[in-house]
Each structure stands twice: as C-alpha cells, then as structure tokens.
A = this chain, B = another copy of it.
Amino acid sequence: MTDFSSAVFPVETMAVPGGQETIVRGGRHLFGSLVEGFAGVRRIGVLGWGPQGRAQALNLRDSLAGSGITVTVGLRPRSASAAAARAEGFTEEDGTLGDWLAVAADSDLVLLLVADAAVARHYPEIFAALRPGSTLGLSHGFLLGYLKETGDRFPDGVSVIAVCPKGMGDSVRRLYVQGARVNGAGINASFAVHADHDGRATDRALAWSIALGAPYTFRTTLRDEYLSDIVGERAILLGAVHGIVESLYTRARLAGADPVAAYRRSCENITGPIARAISADGLLGVRDALSGEGREVFDRAYAAGYRPARELIAEIYQEVADGTELRSVVLAGERLRSTPMTPISGSPMWSAAAEVHARRGAEAVPVDPFAAGVFVATMTAQVDLFAELGHPWSEIVNESIIEAVDSLLPYMHARDVAHMVDNCSTTARLGARRWGPRFQAVLEQIVFPAADGAGGGDPALVEAFLANPVHEALAAAAKLRPPVDIAVA
C-alpha cells in the first residue's frame, strides 16, 4: 500500500519496523523536474486563502517561477482575503486572482483548500465547475469523510489526489523560505491517489509535494489520512495538549506553586523543553536525559498515563471512523452560525503566559519529569493505536510526533495553547473543545491519583516503551530531515 513508482522523480526505500516504505526525498534541485511532473497542467487553481491556501499558493508560485505554469488564487465573492492575496501579488489584472468557481473551471489542477465548513456547504458547486480530465487536489481527508456522511461521491472523469503537509500552513511557508538557505527545509507530506484517470496522478501529486518543499513524501490512502488527521488533532496534536497543560497547571498550583512556576511546569515545559528534546533526541531521548529520581518520576507518570490515554484515543478513533465525530462537527456548524464559541483564553493559567514568555532566555526551564512522562505516554498511546490499526509508519511518526514537535508545539510555545485552540480550523477547534476536557478529567481523576498512589501503574508499560518499534521508525524519518531552525518568527 505504501509502495509506488515514479517516471519523473527518484524514489527511495526507507526501512521501517517490519518492512520498508517507498518515499521521495524533496529539495530545490528537483524543481527543474516539476514541469515534467505536472505534465498536462498549465494552470493550478488554489481555492481559499487560509493558512494552507496562502502557504501553498506562495510556495507553488515560487517553485514554478519561469516554468510557464500559472498559479491562480480563487476566492469566494466578497472574500475578506482578497486584499491579503493582492498584497502578495495575486491580482485580477494579471489573471492570478479570481472567483473560486471561475478559477476552478479554468484550472487543470484545482487545490481545494477552503475551510471545512465551506467545503461542506459548497462542494456541489465546485464539483460542477471542474473540467472533465482535470485533477482535484485536497490537503486533508475531511471531504472524503463528509461525502460518506452525505452519501455523495467525487465527480466522474476527474482525478482526485491529496498532498497533506504534516504541519500548519504557517510552518509550510516558513520552512519553505528557510529552504532557500538549507536545501530541503520544509514540512513532510503524505500523498494519496484516490482516482487516477490518466495514469499521471502519482507524478502530479509528487510534483505538488516537492513544490511545497516537503523534505520527504510518503504514500497513504485518503481514508487513512482522514482518520489519522482528525484523530491526531483531537489527541496529541491539540486536544490532548490542552487537557494535559490545564491539568498540570492546576496540579502544580495545588502543590503550592505560584502561577509563573505552575505555568513553567505545564504549558511552558511541554511546548518548550519537552518538544525540543523529542525533536532533537526522539521519545527515548527525553527519558535518557533524566536520571535518578527524575527518571523514576517519569516512569511513574508514564505507567499511570499510558492506558487511560490509549482508551480515550481509541474512543476518539472509533467515533471518527464511524462518522459520529464528523456528524457533530456538521451539527455544530449550524449551531455556531447563531452562537459562536466562547474563547477559552480567559482560563487563569494563560494570565501567567506573558510573564513567563518575557523571562525566557534569562532563566532556563528544565524538563519536568512528571510532565514529560504524561506527555510521552499520551504520544506513545496514539502511536501504538495507529500502528495497531495498520497506518503507514511514516504517517504515524509524522502525524503523531514530527508534526507536533516541529510545527504545532513551537507555534504554541510562541502564542500559547489557548490562542491555538481559539484560532485553528473550526473542525480542529471543535475537536479540541470536545476532547481536551476529556483528557483533563482523565488525568485529574484517574492518572494523577494513580501516579501519586501506592500502585503507580504497571512497570511493564515502561519496558514496552523502551522496546517500542516507534523509536526505529522515528530515527529513520529523522535521517531524511535537513537541519533547520524550527523557531517561530
């Protein structure tokens, strides 16, 4: 399932636990082959100017400069984003900015990057606008899940591909820009071929991914992408992070820490030193850097936290696979038009963020072993569930670990978690609001008492962690990664 071949781009094999995956390593030295990869595509229409739309339109235009392939941005009538797109040089005058349906009709490759709610409401008009023989491109699987709910399907005579960067749009652009100095800097991406009418879908997807700057590209299915994407953002990428930092903050305050100290032992710790340690040294590296009592604390927290996290993520996965989660997102869409979600940034812990941010540099914050044990247990629980359910290893490590520590957590470190929850996509925000409190409750009511109690969890879980195949998979992915600065501007 993860194997593929390309007539244009050099494929490599990557050793993963139990076998190997075919991948394509990216880099600017391949930009000269993009025209061949995009053979038959003269116009690429990017619909939407959200974080992904903006980043992908800019990266594609830069990568295809002088190629003769035009990148056009398509926006809804009276879109508030038109000014921003013009400011980046996409204009009606030169035909690189237009109405989304007109752009869809004029393009050979149409990248549907508008918000999920808009996709849900308007996909029939967009499908109707697509030219027979053109290619529809997606960057996550939401539409596949939504069509399953509505009993509808993709249009006949149109190829359907996906290229899914494993990071937020902000990172997709920022790291691409760094790629001018460090060849291959970028965000890894998965690709999927859902319908291929001319036999060129794979090369087209690979060209798209390379043009976005993906250091390496691996294959998945739209269904696996959909499941891991929606589950991941509800779990370790966002929802679980919010629940973990809220519960750790309260735990520290109850233990007598002042707000600044408590913030450092919760949000600051996970988005800062813990994320950096995982990014640099992997999951094992976090534990290896601890010794004596610190390692014992990590192990107790890990052993207490693993099973409850695994159960909760299994519940999330089941609801996403069943369609229940998506049904509630669609329901919320109706509700939110009359009653918008209240922000959660008023939670007391965020009042400590500014002071902690201001003191960065002056005072180093060491890894908190308890926070690290809880966080790594939750991350590993997601990895193990995805592996048990047969997701490709590249998808597992990118969706569960690399996207977290190299894209989302650095962003949260710069902005804080509440800002991220309140400002991410509606689908992700609803998921974080829905599941974050579940993680918080499980931690406060089940995990912390177990970690602090006599039992303290099953030590065999720590043994299993040490022998977990994910370490091999993560190391293999790390070999494909250029040395880049992941700091958020």
Q: A residues near B, CB below 8 A?
A: 246, 250, 253-254, 308, 311, 314-315, 318-319, 322, 324, 327-328, 331-332, 335, 339, 342, 344, 346-348, 434, 436-438, 440-441, 444-446, 448-450, 453
Contact = CB atoms under 8 A, between A and B. Distances in A.
A311 B335 CA distance: 9
A456 to B, nearest CB: 13
The 6 tightest CB contacts between A and B, nearest first, are: A437-B441, A347-B445, A437-B437, A346-B449, A344-B445, A324-B327
Contacts of A436: 441
What is the predominant secondary structure among interface residues of chain A facing chain B?
A: helix
A447 to B, nearest CB: 9
A446 B344 contact: yes
A311 B339 contact: yes
Contact of A440 (B322, B348, B437): B437
9 contacts: A246-B444, A254-B254, A311-B339, A318-B331, A324-B324, A324-B328, A346-B446, A346-B453, A437-B440
A328 B453 CA distance: 32
Nearest to A332: B315
A70 to B, nearest CB: 43
B335 A318 contact: yes
B331 A324 contact: yes
A419 B348 CA distance: 30
Nearest to A418: B445
- Most chain B CB within 10 A, of A254, A324, A332, A339, is at A324
Contacts of A328: 319, 322, 324
Contacts of A453: 346
A324 B319 CA distance: 10
Contacts of A348: 444, 448-449
